[in-house]
Amino acid sequence: METDPHVRPETPADHAVVRSLIEAAFRDAPHSDQTEAAIVDGLREASAMALSLVAVDEDGGILGHIAFSAVSVASGESGWYGLGPVAVWPQLQRRGIGTALVSDGLRRLKERGAKGCVLLGDPAFYSRFGFESDPALTYRGLPSEYVQRLVFIPPAPRGEITYHAAFEVAA
């Protein structure tokens, strides 16, 4: 069953529910170190959240959340953003909510004049949005197939990606 949620900017009134949602979404994820909610909190506290969106149902209930924050790239290109984390309540996953959040978020970034977006994630999922692995782009020795980028305005970035300090929280 596909869900067609409404996607809107997150508001301060959403923060507590979004935190619970992120914790639940990553609780059993094998790739998670359970820091995703703290990362989002840290981005908010530092005013480093470039874009924070929620997917809601027809009654306004929050179904999912996505965050974007500015990243630095060793080659010096500015205007690049990191996608993540993206989270959907576990019982609602695989219904198109995450896809709606990613699509809407990328559209909004592009409309704001972003040069592109990077992420660390599953190529099988993110390739549908145009993300590609690029061996010239690295992140802390992670295998290159998981370091992906989507170029809105060339050139493509090169070198090591650095996320905001909020991503350095300890598990």
Q: What is the pLDDT of residues 8-58, one digit of tens each?
A: 999 999 999 999 999 999 998 888 888 999 999 999 999 999 999 999 999
Mean pLDDT of 64-76: 96
Token digits of residue 142: 């992670």
Residue 19 near residue 65, CB atoms below 8 Å: no
pLDDT band at 133 (very low <50, low <70, confident <90, very high): very high
Pick the closest to residue 131 from 119, 142, 140, 141 (CA basis). 119
Structural domain includes residue 131: yes
CA distance linking residue 74 with residue 110, whole number of Å = 22
Structural domain includes residue 60: yes
CATH number at residue 45: 3.40.630.30
The number of domains in the chain is 1
Structural domain includes residue 1: no
DSSP state of 28: T
Range of the domain at 100: 6-168
Mean pLDDT of 124-132: 96
51-85 burial string, b = 16+ CB within 10 Å, else e? bbbbbbeeeeebbbbbbbbbbbbeeebeebbbbbb
- Rounded to the nearest integer, the mean pLDDT of the chain is 94
Mean pLDDT of 136-162: 94
Token digits of residue 28: 């059993």
pLDDT of residue 33: 86
CA distance linking residue 16 with residue 37, whole number of Å = 10
Mean pLDDT of 99-117: 98
CA distance linking residue 53 with residue 80, whole number of Å = 18
pLDDT of residue 49: 97
